[in-house]
Amino acid sequence: MPVTSNEIVVIGGGAAGMMAALSAAQQGAFVTLLERNEKLGRKLNITGKGRCNLTNNCTAEEALAHVPCNSRFLFSAFSRFDPQAAMNFFEYLGLALKTERGNRVFPVSDCAYDVTDALRAALRRHHVRIVHDRAQELLFSEEGALCGVRAERGCYSSAVVILATGGVSYPATGSTGDGYRMAEAVGHTIIAPKPSLISLVCRDECCAQMQGLSLRNVALRVKNQKNKTIYEDFGEMLFTDKGVSGPMILSASAHLRNYEKDRYRLQIDLKPALDEETLNRRIVRDLEQQHNRDFGNVLSGLVPRSMVPVLIARTEIPAHTKANAVTRQQRRRLLELLKCFEVEVMGPGPIEQAIITSGGVKTTEIQPATMESKRVPGLYFAGEIIDVDAYTGGFNLQIAWATGYAAGCAAAQRGSDAVLYN
């Protein structure tokens, strides 16, 4: 028996699922939102270090430029629901917003819970039925039409289903890849999930030696195997037991997309404010002023203490060399290291620790304007489950809002068409 009522089931109560459910309900659909956790928006609540960078105050075109692959797929969704629409939407829900450095938009309260609360309140106002249950598979009628969802605690009939189960990173928030399995079971291709916005594992032992050391105001350049600069940034980073992390590294990681074929090197400028000539003068001055001291001690005036043994090893200047015995050549080597401290990247950290999962349901199998599956009529996708991901700056949540909005509106339309024509 085909299901003909204007009912929609949304699987996943994260950013994309809540937006899809709300958009569908606003169009008059009866929506059931299935969320496996006891609360909605667990991941949303930890975004932006608990402050939720919910979008970026820029145009749709600028936002698309921050999506490294399959950005064309998002063109239609971003045109209909651009960052400005996202801001208007949240302000309409009663959430005051502010724009910070890099056009990053946050709630004025600096509290991500307020974003979830605003969405939850709107879902209630629009009578969305929220059920805490874990979806397991999509159900089909004998005729082969989508007719519902089987979950752990029961079945939910609907000819229209929106899959918004997220990726596989931060699995403790509920995103464990269930949606990939459900989509694959009905014939969709899943582009292998990979971590993005993630710390990097490095070959050099020096990282472990300096673990815990945080560098501020350093410049980073990422080179590929052909010595081409693929990313440049300025800011903060951290050495860890396995490599490097911190805001600048997470942003850089999204540009390192081909570990199988390419090799990447990080070049860190420890003194970006000083050009080579000025830095050289500073080194000469320090060595002259402290001519009777050991080179190692002079160095600790130039770089953080935990970096000194690493620089000594790399310059090959014995630590106890007196400052006045350092040769011009050795000084040159030190200068080069301070301006270009190289670390070789082995790969990304584990996907569970990634901010974003890159990969997911293949975009060519989804209608870009509606987010409807080209394989299964009545099935829609929204959010991180789709093979799209973006750089930092609020763009990933923008993807969740825009695709959620597109899927919710189109699903509601399809549901009401089903009522009309059956």
Ligand X SMILES: Cc1cc2nc3c(=O)[nH]c(=O)nc-3n(C[C@H](O)[C@H](O)[C@H](O)COP(=O)(O)OP(=O)(O)OC[C@H]3O[C@@H](n4cnc5c(N)ncnc54)[C@H](O)[C@@H]3O)c2cc1C
Q: Which residues bind ligand X (CB under 6 A)?
A: 11-17, 34-37, 42-44, 46-48, 52-53, 134-135, 164-166, 169-170, 173-175, 178, 355-356, 383-384, 394-397, 400
Output 6 or 176, the one with its CB closest to ligand X: 176
Q: Please state, in angstroms and as integers, the Cα–Cα distance from residue 82 to each residue in 76, 87, 176, 387, 391, following that order.
A: 10, 9, 28, 19, 16
Task: Give the C-alpha separation, 294 to 317, whole Å.
Answer: 11
Task: In angstroms, give the least distance from the CB of 403 to ligand X.
Answer: 8
Output 296 or 383, the one with its CB closest to ligand X: 383
Output 140 or 325, the one with its CB closest to ligand X: 140
Angle, helix 276-289 to helix 328-339, in steps of 10 degrees:
130
Task: In angstroms, give the least distance from the CB of 410 to ligand X.
Answer: 17
- Two structure tokens written together for 267: 């070049």
Output 124 or 285, the one with its CB closest to ligand X: 124
Task: In angstroms, give the least distance from the CB of 141 to ligand X.
Answer: 22
Q: Are 61 and 89 in contact (CB under 8 A)?
A: no
Task: In angstroms, give the least distance from the CB of 335 to ligand X.
Answer: 38
Q: Are 170 and 198 in contact (CB under 8 A)?
A: no
Output 79 or 353, the one with its CB closest to ligand X: 353
Task: In angstroms, give the least distance from the CB of 2 to ligand X.
Answer: 24
Output 178 or 269, the one with its CB closest to ligand X: 178
Q: Please state, in angstroms and as integers, the Cα–Cα distance from residue 159 to each residue in 31, 139, 181, following that order.
A: 12, 9, 19
- Two structure tokens written together for 394: 């609020």
What is the DSSP code (8-state) at residue 372? Answer: B
Task: In angstroms, give the least distance from the CB of 421 to ligand X.
Answer: 30
Phi (first) and psi of residue 86, to 5 degrees: -65, -45
Output 315 or 392, the one with its CB closest to ligand X: 392
Residue type, 4: T
User: How many alpha carbons fall within 13 Å on the CB side of residue 147?
Assistant: 11
Secondary structure element (H or E) that encloses residue 56, with its range: strand 55-56
Where do the H-state alpha helices sit in 9-82? 15-26, 60-64, 75-80
Task: In angstroms, give the least distance from the CB of 284 to ligand X.
Answer: 45
